[in-house]
Structure 1
């Protein structure tokens, strides 16, 4: 039985479904339930709208994902308007593609049953504890995401229906052995090279950049110095977490709560179960024969090993796992928890066939001691008190920030908070906790920026409210020349130094080809595409683009990202006689082919669809 369940959950289709369900949950599902503000329309796909708020939220989630993945490097990318515009368009294109797929799914009449959704939920690691579905964990994640079970089910139903289409598309591709061999020969090829480095820094010290050159570069490249609209905010926040941190819980209150809620801190009775499963036309007769052998004195484990059709558990004497009430089906569960320790049930007819159950070990209900759970209880009680205080203060926050619209000090005084000041930021680089799409919409709205008014109160998280006002505002434009002069001087100096290094490299290569072998060469034998640690990764990549000479060595110069020039001699190219990982490469090629098919399929849907971008069109006309 367990073997069949395991086989079903480990298939390729199941893995694809689960991974894409989680991705959609993170990027394009949850935001539909976080607010009702539709804002401007970002795109219209065959008459179906994608609103600006949905796009902003998905875009913010993508930024958070990249920040977690790239760390401080992403902060540099945030300062590049072109990169951020491209990233935003990529997110919008992904949402458009999903809408097109959803429309195609509906057109084809693909459906997902409630049973399939329940099975997928039980297998999602987000809802598991110790490898098993945990209902308390499930409810906690739902609460943290502001979702109901029905809402999550709707999200998953759409995703899984979409995957019925995609699994067929992605799973039908294959690659031949010849294709894999050809790719392996290229990937596993090695090269012998000699390298002479010409450092740009050696030519930079004597260079002087005049102001005319700086100004000329500045005027010729205005986009490099573009500055997005920026704002500096004052803000007041009301947060249950902050309130609860200041609350002390008396020990007698914690103990009273413990006594009144014993079930919360009790471990239910659990039993180590074993079973035998019998399937087929003669299942009942074989089950009764096996039970007779056990009743006759044979060890349950020995009979299970030889007779059970559940081969996975049979190898372990029929043992399954520790179980609490409600883990298995009703018939199995009732039988297991009615047995004494070591007891064996009668033959049971269940949804899986005929079964015999054994309660190998029994652990009674246990309660965790008060000292062990006191801190947990303190946190619960403090949060309850903070929740009541939060409800009392949130109305004052809304009322006073509205009644005194040109200052936040009175609002802060009324709720016992402080007026905080943010750094300068644009729409793409807002710091926490201001990096919320609805809050950013308020921060950059006309009432806040032009009229100097307090914003509406915005919920940025569970029981976390913020109201803002503009302390300062900088319109979008170009950074002044004085601010970027040093940056331009450094850039021009590096360019000119690299040009001088290139001239020297060309001369050295000509001498080398004429027979004057330079000193201080770096020799690398049998270097592969991963490099050897001695050569720059960019240089290694470029070396594998060089065509070998018919006879002798092939010479070339390669400019590196830092401006240095490498003079290289490609001496030999070797293809291994024994290739590794051919089957893995065939799988990768099949996957790549499937992905290309997916992109082509989406492109075909777009070609036949009417996709309108009203926000982009409106901005382009301004």
Structure 2
């Protein structure tokens, strides 16, 4: 129904149009029809202007899109001038791409006929009722959006031309049937392999390490043995939720008297309406009603508004603030009273006042406990802020300890254990608190005692006063603490080198046909055959599929590692074709085709940009 009668439904319609019909190209491309060209342009593309209004509209659309996508995270990003500037540049870049595509479509003779535009409009669900195009609904929607049918049709013509161009580029890439089969065979290929593991753990225990090796390793890897800076913090926490306050009946009564409007429901009226296209139709409906016709039946039969018609004309309860002027001025005072013919912005109405609810005020007894909680909360917050100021003053006046703040808050300060930047106690894990601890401002110089912090407020009506009780600067662990670890690392490193050297020797023997004797001497044997596909999660899968194909009646050999660092000898005995369902094969081919089409389309855009003459307006940031 019309916008001035039911704001809520109108908003839904606008959302449908903005979401499903008016794509970014239409929203921005229509700017030239709404605003005449002038020198104040954002960019010129081969002489065609992109107005600043177009750019601002595209920028606003992108903001709305990202806000919907990112939610609360967008607020933090929006505070960054650099981020918002980049978003503005992206919006302008998109407009330039659209302009280039539009120009190219015209250059190669892509055109959209009036009949194609008509069919595109007829097929839009938002313009339909019960699956059929509704011209009144179409005109009403465009009117609400401020567009004429000609303006919308011209913008849609541009959009369809660009879509046709994109489809023509995307449709140029394809795979032949033989190529599809070869690709599917390669992807689904299976390899039968055996493996023999050289245990690095077993070799590690046999390695010896000298003192000089330990010392050299320590000197060369000191950064690995750094202990980060550490803190111990004393703090006092204030929390409004823990404040104990009392509330009297007088307090509750006073709050109720001052906020009585919060518990008042204004007078409400309930109307039913029948909407028609012409005054004559409305008069005919009114005559039938006066002759005794049932309003609900007549509304379902003759109202052109599908939403209220389904409900027998019922519009639901309306308060004075939401009641449209047509109904306010209809002079309906008594239940069951009919209006005359009412002219509206989209047609004519006949209305009936179905019911009136007088203003109602909830009695105090009904909302007593709710108000008591509210008054307690307000008093607690008031006491909390007074205490916060008192503790802040005490911490400032006695800046060498928290003793004065403890006395003011009537609580003892809490001292944490040692922690680093990565292990902050949960009670202090608030960004403002962490910044105060780690920014260096609370530490004294050269180990001297530091100072108390100011009051630090955090979410949830909480606040902290703190001081750094002790501090340890970043330092390298002494060799004595890490000797065992270094020794084990060196042994492991030596064992790994020995295992790889042994594997390379065995590989030479295996490839020369002398593998059996060499494997026996190394006390190694290949395990049972296993079949691997490309999608297997085994640590050796990639290495197996990188091996050369085995010779006929022979074996191909290689070296890899398992998931724990052991060295693995690989014996590839056979390569065989796997199977791939037809649907999966088609999806694979489609993915390759789409990827190639995307590359081709990006190449087209890149070429158009290189050849284009693009001039930016004054003050437009393009860096």
Q: TM-score, normalised by structure 2?
A: 0.54
Per-residue deviation at 1:407? 0.5
Aligned partner of 1:206 in structure 2 is 205
2:304 paired residue number: 308
Q: Which residue of 1 aligns with 2:408?
A: 414
**Aligned counterparts of 2:185 and 2:478: Cα–Cα separation in 1:** 49
Distance 2:267 2:498 in 1: 80
- How far did 1:408 drift? 0.8
1:10 is paired with a residue whose SS is: helix
Is the CA contact (8 Å cut-off) linking 2:204 and 2:492 kept in structure 1? no
The yes-or-no answer on 1:96 pairing with 2:82 is yes
- Classify 1:416/1:309 alpha carbon distance in 2 versus 1 (closer, same or farther; 3 Å): same
Q: Determine the C-alpha separation between the residues in 2 that align with 1:361 and 1:590.
A: 65
User: Which has the higher mean CA deviation after the structures are superposed, 448-457 or 398-407?
Assistant: 448-457
For residue 240 of structure 1, report the CA deviation from its aligned partner: 1.3
SS in 1 for 2:468: strand
TM superposition shift of 1:242: 2.8
The 5 A counterparts of 1:472-511 are 472-484=470-482
Distance 1:289 1:203, change over 3 A: farther
Q: Does the 8 A contact of 1:277 with 1:308 survive in 2?
A: yes
Structure-2 separation of matches of 1:455 and 1:6:
50
Q: Does 1:220 align with 2:220?
A: yes
Give the drift of 1:401: 0.6
Identify the match of residue 66 of structure 2 among 20, 38, 48.
Answer: 20
The aligned residue for residue 10 of structure 1 is 19
Change (3 A) 1:397 1:303: same
User: 1:399 is matched with which residue?
Assistant: 393
**Deviation sequence 1:170-203 (CA, Å, 0-9, x none):** x998882576979997899434344656486764
Taking only aligned residues, the RMSD between alpha carbons, in angstroms, comes to: 6.2
Q: 1:471 aligns to what SS in structure 2? A: strand
**Shift in alpha-carbon separation, 1:305–1:9, aligned structure 2, 3 A:** farther
**Against the structure 1 CA distance between its residues 32 and 542, is the aligned structure 2 distance closer, same or farther, given a 3 Å change threshold?**
same
Distance change (3 Å), C-alpha of 1:8 and 1:610: closer
Q: Deviations over 1:196-228 (max 9, x none)?
A: 564867647735674655554443334444444
**1:352-407 Cα deviation digits (max 9, x unpaired):** 66566788999998889999977654542322121221122122111111111111
Aligned match of 2:237: 237
Show the 5 A alignment for 1:277-426.
Answer: 282=277, 297=293, 300=296, 303-304=299-300, 308=304, 310=306, 313=307, 316-317=310-311, 325=319, 330-331=324-325, 376-426=370-420
Residue number in structure 2 paired with 1:139: none
Residue equivalent to 2:531: 523
Residues 427, 518 of structure 1: alpha-carbon distance in 2 compared, 3 angstrom cutoff: closer
Match of 2:577 among 572, 578, 582: 572
Larger Rg: 2
* Contact preservation (8 Å) 1:336, 1:359: no
Aligned 8 A contact 1:270 1:364 in 2: yes
Please state how far the C-alpha of 1:575 moved relative to its aligned partner: 5.6
Separation in structure 2 between the aligned mates of residue 28 and residue 103 of structure 1, nearest angstrom: 18
Q: 1:360, 1:509 → 2: CA distance? A: 97
Counterpart of 1:614 in structure 2 is none
2:464 pairs, out of 463, 466, 471, with: 466
Q: 1:281-308: CA deviations, max 9, x gaps?
A: x465556666666776356377447753
SS at match of 1:448: coil
Shift, 1:450, TM fit = 1.5
Greater shift after overlay, 405-414 or 367-376? Answer: 367-376
Q: 1:234 to 1:582 in 2, by over 3 A?
A: same
Q: Tell me, in whole angstroms, the C-alpha distance in 1 between the residues paired with 2:370 and 2:285.
A: 49
Secondary structure class of the residue paired with 2:85: helix
Tell me if the contact between 1:300 and 1:317 (Cα under 8 Å) persists in the aligned partners.
Answer: yes
- Looking at structure 2, the residues matched to 513 and 284 of structure 1 have their Cα atoms a distance apart, in angstroms, of 101
Alignment CA distance shift 1:520-1:256 (3 Å): farther
Deviation for aligned residue 1:610: 11
Equivalent of residue 443 in structure 1, options 437, 446, 450: 437
Cα pair distance change 1:204/1:413, threshold 3 Å: farther
2:170, 2:598 within 8 Å by CA — same for their partners in 1?
no
| Alignment check: 8 A CA contact 2:89 2:622 kept | no
Identify which of 453, 456, 473 aligns with 2:454: 456
Q: Which runs of 5+ in 2 are unaligned?
A: 2-8, 25-59, 97-162, 517-524
Q: Distance in 1 between matches of 2:353 and 2:180?
A: 56
Give the Cα separation in 2 of the matches to 1:270 and 1:544: 76
Q: Deviations over 1:517-546 (max 9, x none)?
A: 94444435xx574x5xxx45x666777888
Which secondary structure state, in structure 2, belongs to the residue aligned with residue 456 of structure 1? Answer: coil
CA distance, structure 2, for counterparts of residue 369 and residue 331 of structure 1? 32
Deviation of residue 469 (structure 1)? 0.9
Whole-angstrom distance in 2 between the partners of 1:337 and 1:187: 80
Whether 1:563 and 2:565 are equivalent positions in the alignment is: yes
Q: Distance in 1 between matches of 2:200 and 2:367?
A: 63
- Over 3 Å counting, the alpha-carbon distance change for 1:589 and 1:458 in structure 2 is farther
State the SS of the aligned residue for 1:236. Answer: strand
- In the aligned structure 2, how far is the partner of 1:584 from the partner of 1:248? 71
Q: Given that residues 348 and 356 in structure 1 are in contact (C-alpha distance below 8 angstroms), is that contact kept between their aligned partners in structure 2?
A: yes
Q: Using the alignment, how far apart are the partners of 1:343 and 1:584 within structure 2? A: 65
